[in-house]
Structure 1
């Protein structure tokens, strides 16, 4: 398939599919590696392999909404799936959960038990849910707990925040379990409610993308995954500038714009993305939503 050298071989094969199947494929998420993501993945691997000590190293992964934090965490979890040992016991090295909408201890243990797929009752006492969660984490030999949306800690009173962060510190100490907190820049404020806990978290940032060589390489990587028969030259100057503006400099924004543009290109029989097509996908940046709403 030398005619489709702009695509990965497995992507080129999708060009023979029906229009509906190609559109379905175009709307799926695909992992794209890039230098900063590799650095963070390596850091998480080192943390996962860290020997159990009294004061475990923790990580705070910070980034703008839509800039790939959750995708990166999902990728890391996929690399360390649940396994069944020959003895029949489960082994779950990486546990990922979502922080409840407020720093409520009972709801935290509920969310953790749901992530562990453990049956329980919401009305159970907090201590009972905590004992159950800790017992399961020990049983499955968990080596890391990742808590997404950690900035939700700020949605409680100062007293609630201190109590909740104290609970996280006790959990980490008790199980000698490294924590990875994931969230927006507000997460830094959230963890600084407890100075002892915040000192244990090493910050890792996923900054917005600048319009530079790294961004052009990212676009080139995306192009190899788009099921379109013709090259789109996404890294060319005019298209790169437009995509950077439309996406707001986030990798999630780029992915969403390109998904919509790819679908339109397939439906229109155009088979490539250009500046004119991008102008006609009906895209409104998040920062412009308020302005558009005023026009309604």
Structure 2
């Protein structure tokens, strides 16, 4: 999920807000919001308004927050709404799940924009309770790395850019297998482990990444 959230954030940075001087409003091509830890409509709209930079009273009624969020979204004319952590739907009761799914369908239909739902595999389970959601959203899974020439090239590329004075030979099998196991094959986790290991190596004066560095940072992240 962390890798998916990072991808979402990177996509959001690539599509920044723009000020429309003619209309005097800020255009927001991509809006991104996280589903609350429990599928609560009130908290969802409050989080959405926060992401939109809209001052509001979080204690206001659901209808007021919904109306304000819709009005602002229509003025900002986004082309896409990204809802992250959709698997949080499963933390609620069946009634809460249905209400939140209806909320997402309502927003997509009302605003006539593309909606992208992001989450773990459990997110697919959450959507399968609604036939309309199943037909509307096609699952796309981020593949995990496996031991391969492509992964070895990735680790070799990391070695070229890490600020270490001595060679680490990150593409050797021992390193590849350990990084793969510690990261679960996720690109974001691989990057974090290697960067943390490089930082540890520099602090220790070693200036290269070995298994001992990787083991130590992996324990710290466990």
Settle same-fold status: TM greater than 0.5: yes
Rounded Cα–Cα distance in structure 2 between residues aligned with 1:262 and 1:285? 14
Cα RMSD (Å): 1.7
How far 1:213 sits from its partner (Å)?
1.9
Q: Which has the higher contact order (CA 8 A, sep 6+)?
A: 1
Structure 1 pair 225–85 and aligned structure 2 pair: CA distance change class (3 A) = farther
- Greater shift in the superposed pair: 255-264 or 103-112: 255-264
- The answer to which of 205-214 and 175-184 deviates more is 205-214
1:257 maps onto 2:193 in alignment: yes
Shift of 1:162: 1.1
Counterpart among 156, 161, 166 of residue 97 in structure 2: 161
Superposed counterparts of 1:52-63, under 5 Å? none
Residues in 2 aligned to 1:282 and 1:146: alpha-carbon distance in whole angstroms = 32
CA contact 1:96–1:146 (8 Å) conserved in 2: yes
- From the two aligned structures, give the one with the greater helix fraction: 2
State the Cα distance separating 1:220 from its structure 2 match: 2.3
Structure 2: distance between partners of 1:278 and 1:152:
32
User: What's the secondary structure of 1:204's corresponding residue?
Assistant: coil
What residue in structure 1 maps to residue 18 of structure 2? 83
**Which residue pairs with 2:6 in the alignment?**
71
**Of 71, 74, 90, which aligns to 1:138?**
74
How do 1:47-126 residues align onto structure 2 when only pairs under 5 Å count? 65-66=1-2, 68-87=3-22, 88-126=24-62
Q: CA deviation at 1:174?
A: 0.9
Range with greater deviation from structure 2 (143-152 or 253-262): 253-262
**TM-score, length basis structure 2:** 0.92
CA distance in 1, matches of 2:49, 2:91: 22
Unaligned runs of 5+ in 2: none
Q: What do residues 123-152 of structure 1 show as CA deviations (whole Å, max 9, x unaligned)?
A: 211111111111111111111000110001
Deviation at 1:104, TM superposition (A): 1.4
Q: Please report the TM-score for the alignment, with normalisation by the length of structure 1.
A: 0.70
Residue 180 (structure 2) pairs with residue 230 (structure 1): no
Q: Deviations over 1:48-106 (max 9, x none)?
A: xxxxxxxxxxxxxxxxx34x211111111111001112334211100011101111111
Cα drift, residue 182 of structure 1: 0.6
Q: How far apart, CA to CA, are the structure 2 residues paired with 1:221 and 1:140?
A: 40
Aligned pair 1:275/2:187, yes or no? no
